[in-house]
Structure 1
Amino acid sequence: MDPKPSYLTSLIAGAAAGLAVDISLFPLDTIKTRLQSSAGFKSSGGFARLYRGLGPAVVGSAPIAGLFFCTYDAVSQRAEALAGERYRPLAHVGAACAAEVASCLAKVPTEVVKQRSQACPGAAAPSPLGVLRAALAAEGPRGLYRGLASTVLRELPFAALQFPLWELLKASWRRRRRRDLGVPEVAACGAVAGGVSAGVTTPLDVAKTRIMLAKARSPGDGLKVRAVLRAVYRELGVRGLFAGFVPRVTWITVGGAVFFGTYEATKTYCTGYSWGRREA
C-alpha cells in the first residue's frame, strides 16, 4: 500500500510537483492559451516569447499545488476510511473535487495574470506586474477572480476523472506486480490519467481561457460558460471547441508524468519510504 503522508509532506511534495511542471512545460501552456484566444493565435503572439507570464505561474504554482495535495490527501484518507473498498473510487472523486475548490482560490488570480501576459503580443507588452495593476485598476480585486466559476467548472470534472483514474491505474498495476510501484510507474499512471482527462475537458478550458482574457466592458465581459461555448461553436464549430487540443493533451500528458513523478519522488524522500517492497 502507498504510505500515508503527513500534511507537511503533502505540502512540500505538491509544491515541488507544481514547480517542476510549470517551469518545464510552460511554452506548451502558452501555445495552448494563444490558440484558444478570441484574437487568434498570431495576434496573441504566435510562437514568440513563449515564456511570457512565467513569473506569476512560478509564484503561484508552489502554494497552489501544495494546497491541492494537502487537501486531497487529508480528505481522501478520511473518505476512504468511511467509504470502504467498494466505494473507494467515490472517495477519490470527492477528495479531488474538494482539493480543486480549495486550490482555485489561489489559482484563479495567478491564471488571470499569467494568461493575459501570455496573450499580449509584441516586445512592448506590459509586464505581469503591469497586467496585475491594470486588472486591479479596471475592476478591483474582483478582476483577479474573473473566470472563477469557469475555472471551477473546468477543474471539477477534470479532477473527478484524473485522480480516480490515476488511483485505479496504480491499484491495478500494483495488484499485477504484487509490490508497491516505483516512481516511474506512478508517473506513467499519471501521464495516462492526465492525457485522457485533458482531452475530455478541452471545451471547458476554451471557455475558461476566453472568459479570463476578456477585459471589463469588452464584448466578452460578463459571459457565462454556456454562452461562450455556444458562441465558439457558432463561429468555429467543433474545431473551435477543441482549440488547443494537441498542446493541452501533450502538456498535461507529459505534465502528468512530471507532476505525479515529482510528487511521489519528493514524498518518498520526505518520508524515507522504500519503494519496491514486496507485499505479503
Structure 2
Amino acid sequence: MSLSKPMATLATATAAAVGGCTASVALYPLDTLKTRMQSESKKDDATEKKPLITWDVENILSLYKGVEYKAAQSTMSKFLYFYAYTAMTNMLLTKDSKSLSTGANLVVGYLAEMFHLPVSLPLEVIITRMQTCKSGESKEGFVQLLQSIWNENGGKWTAFYKGFSAYFVLCLQPAIQFTVFEQVKKLYLKAYKPTTTTLSALEAFLLGAAARSLAIMVVFPYIRAKVIVQAQSKSGAKKQDSIPTVIEKLVHDEGVASLYRGLTPELTKVRVVLCLCFTILSRVRSRRHSCSWSRKRSKPT
C-alpha cells in the first residue's frame, strides 16, 4: 500500500526540510563568512584592514551567532517550498498526464519560491544583521535586534522585508536551473546513453548540481545586492538603497567583478547542501518503498 498523495507530499516536504536544516547547521560558519564577504565593499576592507576571520575564541563563536534561527528559517523555507511545489503539481496533473509541461513547471517553481517568503524573509533579515553586525553590537540578542530593526525604520513592518524586490529575479533561479538541466540532459543522453531517456540517480544529482551552480551565477548580483540592503542600518545609511541602486553603485565604484564577491563560498555551500539533501531524500524514499513492500507482504492472501 503506497502513501496517499497528501501524505506523500508531506513526506517529501519533511525530508527536504530535514535536509535543509541539517545542511544549514553544518555549514553555518561558511554561510556567515559568505554573508560578511557579500555585505562588505573594498572601501570597508581598505578602512578596517583586518582579515575576514581571526582564530580567537570570540571570533570563532561569532561565526555561529544566529545558527538556531538559521536552522528554523531553512526548515520552514524548504518545507513550504517543497510542499507548495508538490501540492501545486498534483493539482495540475490530470489522469492522462504523468508530468507537467515545461511552462507549467517553471510557473509552479516560481510560485513555490514566492510562497515561503512571507514567513522566511523576516528571519533572513534578522540573521543577516546578526552575521554582519559590528563587534560593539555583537551582544545584541534576538529580541533586542528585532526592536532595533523596528525602531530604525520608523516602526514599520516593512523593515523586516528588506530586499524583497530582489526575489522577483531570484525566484527565477529554479526556472533557469530547470531549463539548463533539461538541455544538458538531452545533450548528455544523446551523446552517452542514446538507447534510454532516463538518468541514474547519481547522474541526475551531478547534472542538477551543475545546473544549480550556473543558475546561481546568473542571479548572483541580486543575491549580493539583497545582502547589502538587508545589512544596512539607519546609522550606516541615511536612505535605504533599492536593489537596482545598489547594483549600479557596485558597478560604478568597484567594477563589474564586485557583483560576484562571495560567489565561491556560495557555490561551495550549494554543492554540499545539495549532497546532504540528496542523501536524506534518497534514504526517506527508500524507507517509504521498504515500508510499502512490507505492508504488501504482510497482507493476507
Amino acid at match of 1:104: L
For 1:167 and 1:132, the matched residues in 2 are separated by 43
What are the ranges of 5 or more consecutive residues in structure 2 without an aligned counterpart?
Answer: 54-58, 293-301
Structure 1 equivalent of residue 71 of structure 2: 58
1:137 pairs with 2:151: yes
1:243 pairs with 2:261: yes
Deviation at 1:253, TM superposition (A): 2.3
Structure 2 equivalent of residue 277 of structure 1: none
Post-superposition CA distance 1:70-94 (Å, at most 9, x none): 0111223444549968973222211
Worse-superposed segment, 7-16 or 109-118? 7-16
Q: 1:15 aligns with which of 11, 14, 17?
A: 17
Post-superposition CA distance 1:224-269 (Å, at most 9, x none): 2111100111111112111111111221122222234433433443
Structure 2 equivalent of residue 119 of structure 1: 132
Structure 2 equivalent of residue 258 of structure 1: 276
Match of 2:171, SS state, is helix
Match of 1:6, SS state, is helix
For 2:159 and 2:109, the matched residues in 1 are separated by 27
User: Residues 242 and 61 from structure 1, CA distance in 2 versus in 1: closer, same or farther, beyond 3 angstroms?
Assistant: same
Structure 2 equivalent of residue 207 of structure 1: 225
Structure 1 equivalent of residue 52 of structure 2: 46
Post-superposition CA distance 1:20-73 (Å, at most 9, x none): 221122222212211111464668982233222212101221111100000111
| Higher CA-based Rg | 2
1:155 pairs with 2:157: no
How many residues align? The count is 270
Matched-pair contact (CA < 8 Å) for 1:191–1:254: no
What are the ranges of 5 or more consecutive residues in structure 1 without an aligned counterpart?
Answer: 275-280
Post-superposition CA distance 1:108-158 (Å, at most 9, x none): 1111011111112438602334322321333343221122222x1342121
Match of 1:269, SS state, is helix
For 1:32 and 1:61, the matched residues in 2 are separated by 16
Matched-pair contact (CA < 8 Å) for 1:43–1:121: no
TM-score (norm 1): 0.81
Matched-pair contact (CA < 8 Å) for 2:122–2:160: yes
User: Residues 244 and 59 from structure 1, CA distance in 2 versus in 1: closer, same or farther, beyond 3 angstroms?
Assistant: same
For 1:137 and 1:223, the matched residues in 2 are separated by 18
For 2:136 and 2:32, the matched residues in 1 are separated by 16
For 1:51 and 1:123, the matched residues in 2 are separated by 17
Q: 1:107 aligns with which of 89, 107, 120?
A: 120
Task: Report matched runs for 1:89-100 at 5 Å.
Answer: 89-100=102-113
For 1:123 and 1:259, the matched residues in 2 are separated by 37
Worse-superposed segment, 52-61 or 129-138? 129-138
User: Residues 101 and 136 from structure 1, CA distance in 2 versus in 1: closer, same or farther, beyond 3 angstroms?
Assistant: same
Superposition CA RMSD, Å: 3.4
